[in-house]
């Protein structure tokens, strides 16, 4: 019986409240074009592992595939938390609004639970990044008011990007999704988000596999009779971070979900806390104005 509970985490997957009262599941499944898209794995995650939170983006090119997987899983839309992201080529007021509607239609849904600006650099020649971000965010604010997006947020934004948005706009982002793993712990950003009521969401929790052969992580995996991946994901979740590991393998997704049946001791959380070395395994937004 205990085993069943652990292998179907939906029974016990905690949620994190957004500033608007919605509850986002603390564990989700990331999807992307990197390493391909696995229809069977997403169906397995939804129907066998109890995953209810799926994260994707226009840039990943798998929104249509996701629609098929969701349909096949049979999970009702109102039980799902679906996030997609606006890519920079669609930044700007009109293009952003259209891009969101296009993402909805590709995913076969009438609304998104969360829609994020994917990256702080607009890469629009001759235009100021801050202005483009503000104009784009205004489109997201309208999509939010119209109910096309139940929540809106940003991804890869740093404190200065968030501060500017706060000055330029009216709705504070509900979520900021950034790279977060033992080697990349942006604690000042996390604290800023906490103070501003912005939910902090972390991607690449395994540092694209680099964390799995770290001696501290391996040692803790042995201590708790868990896998190194489970230690990293548990650490992230125990820090209150919404965590979205990505895998195209069924058994890996199953493993990544089994993180609610144990707890890391404070000393072990602290030991993982010392592993920060500032490395990025994804894009680094540090130098973007």
Rounded alpha-carbon distances, angstroms, from residue 260 to 199, 229, 275, 285: 20, 13, 23, 32
Task: Determine the Cα–Cα distance for residues 144 and 23; give it in Å rounded to an integer.
Answer: 16
Which one of the listed residues 60, 115, 180, 203 is annotated catalytic? Answer: 60
Instruction: Tell me which residue has tokens 């972390």.
Output: 202
**Residues 26, 50: contact at Cβ < 8 Å?**
no
User: For the chain, where are the alpha helices, taking DSSP H only?
Assistant: 2-7, 39-47, 63-73, 93-107, 129-145, 159-168, 187-196, 215-224, 228-238, 250-257, 266-273
60 flagged as catalytic: yes
Task: Read off the DSSP letter of residue 181.
Answer: B
**Residues 47, 41: contact at Cβ < 8 Å?**
no
* Residue 181 among known ligand-binding residues: no
Task: Read off the DSSP letter of residue 10.
Answer: G
Task: Read off the DSSP letter of residue 33.
Answer: S
Closest to 186 (Cα-Cα) out of 169, 162, 168 = 162
Task: Determine the Cα–Cα distance for residues 258 and 254; give it in Å rounded to an integer.
Answer: 7
Rounded alpha-carbon distances, angstroms, from residue 218 to 13, 223, 268, 276, 277: 25, 9, 12, 16, 18
Annotated binding site for substrate: 118
Annotated binding site: 118
**Residues known to be catalytic:** 60
């Amino acid at each position: 019986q205990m085993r069943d509970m652990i292998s179907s985490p939906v029974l016990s997957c905690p949620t994190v409240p957004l500033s608007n009262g919605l509850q986002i599941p603390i564990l989700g499944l990331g999807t992307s074009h990197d390493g391909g898209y696995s229809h069977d794995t997403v169906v397995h995650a939804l129907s066998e592992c109890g995953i209810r939170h799926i994260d994707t983006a226009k840039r990943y090119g798998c929104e249509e595939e996701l629609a098929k997987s969701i349909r096949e899983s049979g999970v009702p839309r109102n039980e799902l938390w679906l996030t997609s992201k606006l890519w920079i080529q669609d930044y700007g007021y009109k293009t952003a609004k259209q891009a969101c509607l296009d993402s909805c239609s590709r995913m076969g849904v009438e609304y998104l639970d969360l829609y994020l600006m994917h990256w702080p650099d607009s890469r629009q020649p001759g235009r100021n990044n801050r202005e483009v971000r503000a104009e784009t965010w205004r489109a997201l604010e309208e999509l939010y008011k119209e109910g096309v997006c139940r929540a809106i947020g940003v991804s890869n934004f740093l404190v200065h990007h968030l501060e500017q948005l706060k000055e330029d706009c009216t709705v504070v982002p509900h979520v900021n999704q950034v790279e977060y793993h033992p080697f990349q712990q942006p604690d000042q950003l996390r604290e800023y988000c906490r103070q501003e009521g912005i939910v902090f969401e972390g991607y690449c929790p395994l540092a694209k596999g680099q964390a799995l052969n770290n001696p501290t992580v391996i040692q803790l995996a042995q201590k708790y009779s868990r896998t190194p991946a489970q230690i990293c994901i548990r650490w992230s979740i125990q820090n209150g971070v919404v965590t979205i590991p990505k895998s195209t393998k069924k058994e890996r997704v199953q493993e990544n979900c089994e993180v609610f049946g144990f707890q890391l001791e404070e000393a072990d959380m602290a030991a993982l806390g010392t592993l920060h070395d500032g490395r990025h395994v994804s894009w680094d937004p540090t130098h973007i104005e």
